[in-house]
Amino acid sequence: MPELFDQYHYEPKNKSVNAIIREFEKEYQEIFELAKTKWNHSIREFHRDATGLKLSRNSSIGRGMTIQIRFLPDEENQFIKLIDEHFPELDFMEYTKIRSLHDALIHSDPYFQIGEIGLPFQQLVDYCSKYLDRYNLKKLHSLLFTEMGKSKDVLGAYYFKDSRIELYYVPLIIFSQIHRISLEHLIVVVLAHELAHAYHHIGFDTDGYQWDEMSKTDSNIVEGLAQYYTSLFVEDQETIYPGVKDAYLELLAYQTVSTRATASLCSVIFC
Ligand SMILES: [Zn+2]
C-alpha cells in the first residue's frame, strides 16, 4: 500500500498537527469509529429509502456490495503541507480556546468595566483581539479549505474504482475546531455525502440495474445529486441531532457559489 506508507514520510512542521496525528488513536479515533458504526448504518438506511437503491440485488440473499471506509490523516499530505506553508506556528487548539474566551469576554464586558478589574479585563480582551486579527478566520479558512477545495479533496473522497470512501481526519478535526462545531456531526455530513456517491454508483435500482455510467457523468450532476441527498438526510436528522445541521450549514457557508455544486470540500475521484 504505497499511498498509506507515504502518508507517514512527511513530518509536519506545525506542532498541533503533529499532536493530532500522534494523539489520533487516543483522542479522536472513537468519534470516527462511531461514524463508521452507528452513523454509517443510519445513513445507509436513509439513502436506501430515499433513493430506492439497494446495495444488494436481492436483499434476502445476504451480502451485497461492500463499501470500505478508511480514515487517513490527509490526502497525500497536501492539506498538512498547506498549513506548514501558511501557518507553521499556529496551535489550532489554542486558537479555538482563544476564540471562545474572546466571545465570552465580549458578552460579559458590561460587568467588568468598573474597579480594579477594569484594566486587566481590557488587556485580556486586547490580547485575544490581537491574536484573532493575526489569525483571521476568513483568511484561515480561505487559505486552508477554499483554495485547496477548488481542485483537491479536502475532507473526504469516494473512489469509483473500488467503491472506497476515505475520510481525512486532520482537516476534519481542524475544520471542527476552528469553526467550533461537533466533530462527530461534521464527519456524519461528509460521510452522508460520500455514501450518497456510493449508492448512486453501485446501488441496484428497482429493475436490478446499477448505474455504471455514473463515473463518466458530468461532475456537476454527480456532486449535485450527492449534495441533494445529503441535504435531505440533514433535514431528516434535524430534530433529534441539530448539530448535524449546524455542521452542514457551516460547510455550506464556506463553499463559494461556484463550488457548491461541485462540493469542493468532499469530492469524488474519477479513477
Ligand atoms: Zn462529492
Residues 28, 49: Cα–Cα separation, whole Å: 31
Please say if the pLDDT value at position 7 is more than 60: no
Distance 94 CA to ligand 1 centre (A): 31
Distance 124 CA to ligand 1 centre (A): 43
Distance 240 CA to ligand 1 centre (A): 25
As beta bridge partners, residue 168 has 72
Residues 158, 170: Cα–Cα separation, whole Å: 17
Within 13 Å of residue 180, how many CA atoms lie on the same side as its CB? Answer: 10
Distance 269 CA to ligand 1 centre (A): 9
Q: Please report which confidence band the pLDDT of residue 63 belongs to, taking 50, 70 and 90 as the band edges.
A: low
State the pLDDT at residue 267.
57
Q: Which of 250, 117, 115 is nearest to 175 (CA)?
A: 250
Q: Which of 187, 118, 178 is nearest to 145 (CA)?
A: 178
In single-letter form, the type of residue at position 140 comes to L
Q: Which of 58-72, 219-233, 256-270 holds the top average pLDDT? A: 219-233
Distance 236 CA to ligand 1 centre (A): 20
Please say if the pLDDT value at position 258 is more than 60: no
State the pLDDT at residue 43.
95
- Output the nine-digit C-alpha cell for 106: 465580549
Q: Residue 138, class by beta-carbon neighbours within 10 Å (0-12 exposed, 13-18 middle, 19+ buried)?
A: exposed
Q: Please report which confidence band the pLDDT of residue 265 belongs to, taking 50, 70 and 90 as the band edges.
A: low
Distance 122 CA to ligand 1 centre (A): 46
Q: Do 74 and 1 contact (CB within 8 A), yes or no?
A: no
Distance 251 CA to ligand 1 centre (A): 13
State the pLDDT at residue 263.
45
Within 13 Å of residue 26, how many CA atoms lie on the same side as its CB? Answer: 5
Distance 150 CA to ligand 1 centre (A): 12
Q: Give Cβ neighbours of residue 88 (< 8 Å, ≥ 6 apart).
A: 13, 14
Q: Please report which confidence band the pLDDT of residue 149 belongs to, taking 50, 70 and 90 as the band edges.
A: confident
Distance 69 CA to ligand 1 centre (A): 15
State the pLDDT at residue 12.
92
What is the Cα Rg of the chain in Å? 21
- Output the nine-digit C-alpha cell for 11: 513530518
Q: Percentage of the chain with pLDDT > 90? A: 54
What is the dihedral angle through the alpha carbons of 40, 45, 46, 47, rounded to the nearest 10 degrees?
Answer: 90
Distance 56 CA to ligand 1 centre (A): 23
Distance 265 CA to ligand 1 centre (A): 8
Distance 31 CA to ligand 1 centre (A): 22
- Give the lowest-confidence range in 15-29, 158-172, 246-260: 246-260
As beta bridge partners, residue 166 has 70, 157
Distance 33 CA to ligand 1 centre (A): 21
Distance 173 CA to ligand 1 centre (A): 19
Distance 245 CA to ligand 1 centre (A): 18
β-pairing, 266-269 with 164-168?
unpaired
Q: Do 193 and 227 contact (CB within 8 A), yes or no?
A: yes
Distance 205 CA to ligand 1 centre (A): 20
State the pLDDT at residue 62.
46
Please say if the pLDDT value at position 9 is more than 70: yes
